[in-house]
Structure 1
Amino acid sequence: MRRLLLLALVALGTAACDQSGSSGTLTPVDVQQPPDDDLHGNGGVVPLPDPEQQDGRVGRSARRLTVDQLGASIQTALGQPWSKLSSRAASLGRADYALVNAESTEANLVFAKFLDDGAREVCVARASADLKLTVAKDRVLARTLPEGTVGDLRKLTDAQVRELLVYLSTRFWGSPLHDEELTRWAGLFTQAAIRAETIKKRDQAIAVLCIAMMTDSRFLTY
């Protein structure tokens, strides 16, 4: 009797499973169109910005140097500090932690004005000192110019001008000028050299390049 009752219960359980139609069955998946879930779909991932909209940069947008970083970069690139950096630090964005508790890294007009003043100070001083040196390796900005006393810069060959520009752009930006941009900068130097000889201030041709590269966004951002 017990055996018959047990068999009846097993039969009823099997029938119930068959009627539900869900236990132990697999739902077919169309492999041509996988489900749009977090694994196969976008998954909430934000795509990287278009490099063409960020001057060729991939990932985050560029950030301006802090005052301390700017001072270190000037010292590294020119071998001497900007003497008025500390007195201009607040205007350049440094926090005083009295009224301002966060450093500003916004490239505004005030920053641009004071930086231009600083670039003129250090670049003119460095270029003037360089042209007094006769040993090329002792120079900072004019290191690629020929040994001995620096002569008329208008007489430099195109190859010498380009070598100077590649050296300076690598020194200031960590990346050399090339192609059409290198040609444009060569034209700038040629004009600067002509004017420098006219006013009898040869060092200003080198200073012009220094100022232009130091105030370029490639020197100020990372």
Structure 2
Amino acid sequence: MRILLVLSMVAIWGCDSSPQTTESDNNAVDRPEQPPATGQTQEPRPQQTPSMPSDGDGQQDNRPQATMTDGHWGASTRVGVRTPTVVVEPGRSRRRMNLDQLESAFLRVSNDLNWTERANGVDVSLFQTLSATLGKPDFIQVTTEALDPTALFQKFLDDAARQVCQKMVARDSERNEANPSLLLDRLADTTIDAHLSNLVLRFHNRQLDEDSNDLAQWRWFVDSLRHVAESDEQIWHAVCVALFTHPDFYTY
């Protein structure tokens, strides 16, 4: 019996010695930790809702005011604006001759001297032999002729001019006063401008005045050739090649 009483007292004593939970402790466990009262809140909110300023009393207008100032340009004058008249020059862009026209021009200027080669004892026109290479149509695979002044065309034109001019110089060297030459002439200062003007008229069908800038350029070319050429034949041969290869000859 005494043993039971002792055990009962020990049990009661153990229950009384367990920690007690207060109401403040329960609140600390259930509620999350609050931020400190001092400082800015986590979600700042505007003090008031933004709105447009009213035009009521007490509102100050700080907008700048435009003021009229007197200019120093004088009194204004009203004028009418007109669209300028577009002046259309007559004519069209120049075109390159086709091969038939080019060969005919060579024959006319040189008095029937053509660009040829010897084949089987006969002089054959290279304008016809190289017609396919120079873009003349065969009307089987090609029906339109290429009329662009390409580098290949310029090369063949230079070859034709050199050969024909050499023939003209050789023929003119054998002529006499009764049958004057077409190309060669004495390099006299009093007649050189007139001779150049005649050559430009023959090759390019252009009449140049004595004070023309174009004639002055051809005269400068002849004067430059005097310093490098060994004879008058070389000078006029170079002038002939320049006249043939000039765009005013092979375009119209």
Partner of 1:59: 91
Task: Give the distance between the partners of 1:188 and 1:136, measured in 2 at CA.
Answer: 29
Distance apart, 1:100 and its partner CA: 1.4
What is the DSSP-based 3-state SS (H/G/I as helix, E as strand, rest coil) of the residue aligned with 2:228? helix
Deviations 1:40-68 (A, max 9, x none): xxxxxxx88x54xxxxxx32211111100
Amino acid at match of 2:246: D
Partner of 1:204: 234
> Which of the pair has more CA radius of gyration?
2
Task: Give the distance between the partners of 1:94 and 1:135, measured in 2 at CA.
Answer: 42
Distance apart, 1:132 and its partner CA: 2.5
Is residue 159 from structure 1 mapped to residue 201 from structure 2 by the alignment?
no
Task: Give the distance between the partners of 1:217 and 1:88, measured in 2 at CA.
Answer: 21
What is the DSSP-based 3-state SS (H/G/I as helix, E as strand, rest coil) of the residue aligned with 2:143? coil
Is residue 190 from structure 1 mapped to residue 213 from structure 2 by the alignment?
no
Q: Is the 8 A contact 1:123 1:211 kept in 2?
A: yes
Normalising by structure 2, we get a TM-score of: 0.56
What is the DSSP-based 3-state SS (H/G/I as helix, E as strand, rest coil) of the residue aligned with 1:118? helix
Task: Give the distance between the partners of 2:226 and 2:158, measured in 1 at CA.
Answer: 21
Task: Give the distance between the partners of 1:136 and 1:185, measured in 2 at CA.
Answer: 28
Amino acid at match of 1:196: A
Q: Is the 8 A contact 1:165 1:177 kept in 2?
A: no
Is residue 105 from structure 1 mapped to residue 147 from structure 2 by the alignment?
yes
Distance apart, 1:182 and its partner CA: 1.1
Distance apart, 1:162 and its partner CA: 0.5
Is residue 218 from structure 1 mapped to residue 248 from structure 2 by the alignment?
yes
Task: Give the distance between the partners of 1:218 and 1:69, measured in 2 at CA.
Answer: 14
Amino acid at match of 1:177: L
Partner of 1:149: none
Normalising by structure 1, we get a TM-score of: 0.63
Partner of 2:202: 171
Among 76, 98, 104, which residue is 1:72 paired with?
Answer: 104
Distance apart, 1:127 and its partner CA: 1.4
Structure 1 pair 129–194 and aligned structure 2 pair: CA distance change class (3 A): farther
Q: Is the 8 A contact 1:62 1:221 kept in 2?
A: yes
For structure 2, the 5+ residue unaligned runs are: 1-85, 117-125
Distance apart, 1:85 and its partner CA: 1.7
Report the structure, 1 or 2, having the larger helix content.
1
Structure 1 pair 164–93 and aligned structure 2 pair: CA distance change class (3 A): same
**Matched residue count:** 155
Identity %: 30
Structure 1 pair 191–92 and aligned structure 2 pair: CA distance change class (3 A): same
Task: Give the distance between the partners of 1:190 and 1:121, measured in 2 at CA.
Answer: 24
Bigger mean CA offset, 61-70 vs 83-92 = 83-92
